[in-house]
């Protein structure tokens, strides 16, 4: 493909991101690629991606998640330069951006396609909200350490009434994020899966579930001692839920295209960031 237009997403909280974003824009101009810069402060309802051939993100995984939500439906690839401290998705390091960008522009880069989640909030039989995410969809209490009750079903088959501080539905990509911190399994990002992980479940027998992405999960909010229940997608601004609301979650149609996110980089990140050592080290 002949790439002619690019948008660079600059994380406004990272000064180095602004400087390097301007440097990359200048470099692209010498190659005949027009680039615009979009300033991203962590939350945005605006997705300025139509009309561009590819996107460069200058931040951590949160910046990539923002780009993925806007780019996946359009089939636009994302070049994720890492400015975060614990990222698994933004895998292009700052000191290698030029080499990796040249490989991409020549058409030789590996582009990994990751599945996304789609959530529909149904209230009184009417859909009130639709959102997509690359990492996860979380239903929980608005404040910490408050148990909520909900019914969970998968393709119409009941998984039971559950009491917990929250429930996380993640993709394989999101399995290394909030789900992992809540005790969920780490899934190879090449797999399509729905990962169901409970947060501080009332029952000690509760275990994470890995489900086929071909099915649909439904979470119905039941009456509980607290009424402040929210849903958030990829950690974005939460939306209030009411008793009787049903959240339907399934795999989205579009897939995020991540440039240079190889299996080798994923497992390198696991080894380095989770401090895998393979066992005691002997002198």
Interatomic CA distance for residues 115 and 252, integer angstroms: 7
Average pLDDT of span 105-111: 95
Per the domain annotation, does 278 fall within a domain?
no
pLDDT at 276 over 80: no
pLDDT at residue 129 tops 70: yes
The number of folded domains in the chain is 2
Instruction: Confirm if 69 and 234 have CB atoms less than 8 A apart.
Output: yes
Residue 182 is part of which domain span? 116-253
DSSP string, 146-214: --EEEEEEETTEEEEEEEESEEEEE-TGGGGTHHHHTTPPP--TTS--EEEEEES-SSTT---EEE-TT
| Mean of the per-residue pLDDT values of the chain | 92
Min mean pLDDT across 44-58, 72-86, 260-274 is at 260-274
Residue 268 has pLDDT above 90, yes or no: no
What CATH number should be reported for the domain holding residue 42? 3.40.50.10330
- 50 and 124 in a single domain? The answer is no
Same domain for 161 and 74, yes or no, is no
CA 194/CA 168 separation, integer angstroms: 10
**Considering the domain boundaries, does residue 282 fall inside one?**
no
Q: Are residues 134 and 249 in the same domain?
A: yes
Do strands 209-211 and 157-164 pair parallel, antiparallel, or not at all (unpaired)? Answer: unpaired
Dist CA 244 CA 238 (whole Å): 18
pLDDT for the residue numbered 154: 98
Same domain? For 244 and 148 the reply is: yes
**53 has catalytic annotation:** no
Q: Please give the pLDDT value at position 279.
A: 60
Domain match, 174 and 102 both? no
Could you please report the per-residue DSSP string of the chain?
----EEEEEEETT-HHHHHHHHHHHHHHHHTT-EEEEEEE-S--S----TT-SEEEEEESHHHHHHHHHHHGGGT-EEEEEE-SSS-SS--B-GGGHHHHHHHHHTT---EEEEEEEEEEEEETTEEEEEEEESSEEEEEESSTT--EEEEEEETTEEEEEEEESEEEEE-TGGGGTHHHHTTPPP--TTS--EEEEEES-SSTT---EEE-TTS-EEEEEPP-S---EEEEETT-S-EEE-TT-EEEEEEEEEEEEEET--HHHHHHHHHHHTT--SS----
Burial class from Cβ neighbours inside 10 Å (0-12, 13-18, 19+) for residue 18 reads middle
pTM of the model: 0.92
The answer to whether residue 283 sits within a structural domain is no
CATH of the domain at 189: 2.60.200.30
Separation between Cα atoms, residue 36 and residue 217, nearest integer Å: 39
What is the band of 274 on the pLDDT scale with cuts at 50, 70, 90? confident
What does the pLDDT look like over 210-228, one tens digit per residue? 999 999 999 999 998 777 8
Residues 37 and 12 in one domain: yes
Please check whether residues 126 and 249 belong to one and the same domain.
Answer: yes
- Classify residue 279: in a domain, yes or no: no
Q: Compute the distance between CA of residue 162 and CA of residue 160 in angstroms, rounded to an integer.
A: 6
Residue 113, beta-bridge partner list: 257
Residues 95 and 122 in one domain: no
Query: Is 41 found in the same domain as 168?
Result: no
Flag whether pLDDT at 84 surpasses 80: no
The residue annotated as part of the active site, out of 61, 136, 165, 234, is 61
Task: Verify that 94 and 130 share a domain, yes or no.
Answer: no
């Amino acid at each position: 493909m002949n790439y002619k237009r690019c948008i660079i997403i600059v994380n406004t909280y990272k000064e180095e991101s602004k400087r390097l974003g301007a440097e990359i824009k200048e470099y692209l101009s010498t190659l005949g690629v027009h680039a615009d810069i979009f300033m991203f402060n962590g939350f945005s309802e605006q997705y300025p991606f139509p009309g561009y051939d590819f996107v460069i993100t200058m931040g951590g995984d949160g910046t990539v998640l923002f780009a993925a939500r806007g780019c996946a439906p359009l089939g636009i690839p994302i070049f994720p330069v890492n400015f975060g401290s614990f990222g698994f998705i933004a895998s292009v390091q700052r000191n290698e951006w030029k080499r990796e960008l040249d490989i991409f522009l020549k058409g030789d880069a590996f582009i990994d396609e990751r599945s996304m989640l789609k959530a529909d909030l149904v209230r009184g039989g009417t859909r009130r909200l639709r959102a997509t995410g690359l990492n996860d969809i979380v239903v929980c209490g608005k404040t910490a350490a408050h148990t909520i009750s909900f019914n969970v079903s998968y393709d119409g088959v009941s998984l039971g009434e559950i009491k917990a501080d929250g429930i996380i539905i993640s993709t394989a990509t999101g399995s290394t994020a909030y789900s992992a911190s809540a005790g969920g399994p780490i899934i190879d990002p090449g797999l399509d899966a729905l990962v169901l992980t409970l947060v501080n479940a009332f029952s000690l027998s509760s275990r994470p579930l890995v489900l086929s992405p071909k099915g649909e999960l439904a979470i119905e909010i039941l009456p509980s001692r607290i009424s402040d229940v929210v849903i958030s997608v990829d950690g974005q601004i939460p939306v209030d839920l009411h008793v009787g609301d049903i959240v339907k979650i399934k795999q989205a149609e579009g897939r995020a295209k991540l440039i240079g996110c190889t299996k080798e980089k994923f497992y390198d990140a696991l080894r380095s960031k989770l401090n895998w050592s393979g066992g005691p080290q002997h002198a």
